[in-house]
């Protein structure tokens, strides 16, 4: 396996791009804004050029095409389409960012994430939340908890909710099995909402006592405020959003259909691109159909949604551009990390549910949580369980599958790069003028709030 051949220092470019994302905005934000694409390209080249020199240009091209064709392109097409479609949905009316309203919006997001995915729910709801916070001074904690809940933990009840669970569904985990995670979901979401409400209420009371604050002005002039009823514009985009979700679910249903899957060789059918050491990379027909349909939904949204509506919604291309550029570098530099994990994962000594929870979770905080989930799914399938959930990677005990699923989904909230919506929400918030924490500043929040919660999870569910 490739991971057996690669030295541990081959992950240096991956560490380099993470440190660049963390430190460069702190050192010189203006420089970073104009040079992030060059930095991303530099670290991608820092891996692929030495790799190609050591293993050959063909092998280097194979690895790069594999990660982009199978992972990055579907990832960015889905993210781009959801970004465009959600940007055409405008919530009008008076949105007051009181602690109760904010908490209720986070709760709505927790439900919606299981229907349209964490990415879809995040992009649909973050702009109304930002508008509701216009009168507030303290905004950062609300966006941080939004990322914790809506962008991550909320997506744990259905395969549509988060990519790792969807991959589990593709590999044999029953579609409705994830509903068994409901007790864990309720505990985590409830405790996070309660913590958020307590924190936001304290901040809100301070702002009410400050006569110079917008909250105090609104409180003292309630009779002068014209409250516009809440209504939604751009409802056509709900059809396009439904089309994207249909494509995701339908893509899973047809994954093993003979038209798209060669059962004899356990491989997807498609257009051959390149071969290396007896392995041929194909661009799957299923992906072509899937990605084209999803892109069409985005293009129809752009065509049919009035530009004035997007302007009112403060829509711009900057957030999706930033995500596309940085994740292009992350996906290329992540190749050795994932290869080493896949080859040597068994050497981690992970056998107990709590170990699966923390190992899958901590690695998902920095690596792509979808392939990390698959790696531990394969590892769990090698434990020769006699009862549990039968997958095409082996039989897993339910507690182990619980641990892998929750670790991969929940701990994506630990860093900005743990899950794609995290970075997207941060970019949209900063585009709106909210000064978000740095990479390490955000981790300070996650360590203070999430790690104690995950320790409680361990004690209650994974011991």
Res. 223 pLDDT band, cuts 50 70 90: very low
State yes or no: pLDDT of 117 exceeds 50. yes
In this prediction, residue 404 carries a pLDDT of 94
The tally of domains found in the chain comes to 1
Span 16-75, pLDDT tens digits = 998 998 888 888 888 998 999 999 999 999 999 999 999 999 999 999 998 898 888 888
Q: Give the pLDDT band (50/70/90) at residue 227.
A: low
Give me the domain span that covers residue 140: 2-462
Query: Distance between CA 57 and CA 44 in Å, rounded?
Result: 15
Determine how many CB atoms are found less than 10 A away from the CB of residue 461.
Answer: 18
pLDDT above 70 (res 96): yes
Phi-psi region of 278 (alpha: psi -120 to 50; beta: other; left: phi over 0): left
| pLDDT at site 218 | 58
How confident is residue 215, by pLDDT bands cut at 50, 70 and 90? low
**Count of alpha carbons within 13 angstroms of residue 185, beta-carbon side:** 20
Per-residue model confidence (pLDDT) at position 358: 95
Are the beta carbons of 404 and 413 closer than 8 angstroms?
A: no
Whether residue 415 contacts residue 443, with contact meaning beta carbons closer than 8 Å, is answered with: yes
Q: What are the start-end ranges of the E strands in 208-347?
A: 231-233, 261-262, 267-268, 270-276, 279-284
Who has greater pLDDT, 202 or 26? Answer: 202
Q: Does residue 211 register a pLDDT over 70?
A: no
Which residue did the predictor score with more confidence, 265 or 43? 43
Q: What angle do CA 357, 173, 190 make, to 5 degrees?
A: 50
Question: What does the pLDDT look like over 332-371, one tens digit per residue?
Answer: 998 888 888 778 777 778 889 999 999 999 988 987 777 7
| Average pLDDT in the chain | 87
CA–CA separation, 273 vs 68, rounded Å?
12
CB 396 within 8 A of CB 101: no
User: What tokens does 436 get?
Assistant: 């978000």
Total-model pTM: 0.84
Q: What is the pLDDT of residue 368?
A: 72
How do residues 276-306 score in pLDDT, each as one tens digit? 888 889 998 888 988 899 999 999 999 999 9
Q: Is the confidence at residue 225, as pLDDT, over 60?
A: no
Per the model's pLDDT, the better-predicted residue between 219 and 344 turns out to be 344
Per residue, the 3-state secondary structure of 87-103, as one string, reads CCCEEECCCCCCHHHHH
């Amino acid at each position: 396996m490739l991971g057996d051949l690669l030295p541990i220092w081959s992950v240096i470019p991956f560490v380099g791009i993470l440190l660049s994302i963390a430190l460069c905005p702190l050192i010189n934000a203006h420089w970073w804004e104009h040079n992030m694409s060059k930095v991303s390209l530099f670290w991608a080249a820092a891996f692929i050029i030495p790799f190609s020199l050591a293993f050959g240009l063909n092998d280097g091209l194979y690895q790069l095409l594999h990660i982009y064709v199978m992972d990055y392109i579907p990832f960015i097409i889905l993210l781009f389409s959801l970004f465009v479609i959600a940007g055409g949905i405008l919530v009008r009316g008076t949105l007051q960012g009181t602690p109760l309203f904010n908490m209720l919006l986070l709760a709505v997001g927790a439900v919606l994430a299981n229907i349209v995915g964490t990415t879809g729910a995040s992009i649909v709801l973050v702009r109304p939340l930002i508008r509701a916070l216009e009168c507030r001074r303290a905004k950062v904690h609300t966006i941080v908890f939004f990322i914790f809940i809506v962008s991550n933990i909320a997506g744990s009840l259905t395969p549509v909710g988060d990519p790792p669970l969807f991959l589990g569904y593709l590999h044999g985990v029953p579609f409705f099995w994830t509903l068994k995670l409901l007790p864990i979901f309720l505990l985590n979401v409830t405790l996070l909402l309660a913590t958020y409400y307590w924190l936001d209420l304290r901040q809100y009371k301070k702002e009410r006592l400050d006569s110079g604050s917008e909250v105090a002005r609104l409180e003292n002039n309630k009779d002068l405020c014209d409250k516009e009823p809440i209504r939604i514009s751009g409802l056509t985009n709900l059809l396009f959003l439904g089309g994207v979700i249909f494509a995701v679910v339908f893509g899973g249903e047809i994954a093993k259909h003979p038209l798209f899957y060669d059962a004899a060789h356990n491989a997807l059918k498609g257009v051959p691109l390149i071969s290396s050491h007896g392995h041929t990379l194909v661009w799957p027909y299923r992906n072509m159909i899937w990605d084209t349909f999803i892109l069409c939904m985005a293009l129809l949204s752009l065509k049919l949604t009035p530009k004035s509506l997007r302007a009112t919604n403060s829509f711009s291309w900057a957030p999706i551009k930033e995500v596309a550029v940085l994740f292009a570098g992350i996906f290329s530099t992540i190749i050795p990390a994932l290869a080493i994990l896949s080859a040597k994962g068994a050497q981690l000594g992970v056998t107990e549910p709590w170990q699966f929870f923390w190992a899958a979770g901590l690695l998902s905080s920095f690596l792509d949580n979808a392939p990390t989930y698959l790696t531990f799914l394969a590892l769990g399938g090698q434990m020769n369980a006699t009862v549990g959930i039968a997958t095409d990677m082996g039989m897993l005990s339910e507690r182990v599958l619980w641990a892998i699923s929750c670790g991969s989904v929940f701990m994506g909230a630990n860093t900005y790069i743990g899950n794609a919506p995290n970075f997207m929400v941060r970019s949209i918030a900063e585009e709106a003028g909210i000064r978000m924490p740095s990479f390490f500043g955000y981790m300070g929040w996650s360590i203070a709030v999430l790690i104690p919660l995950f320790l409680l999870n361990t004690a209650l569910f994974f011991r």
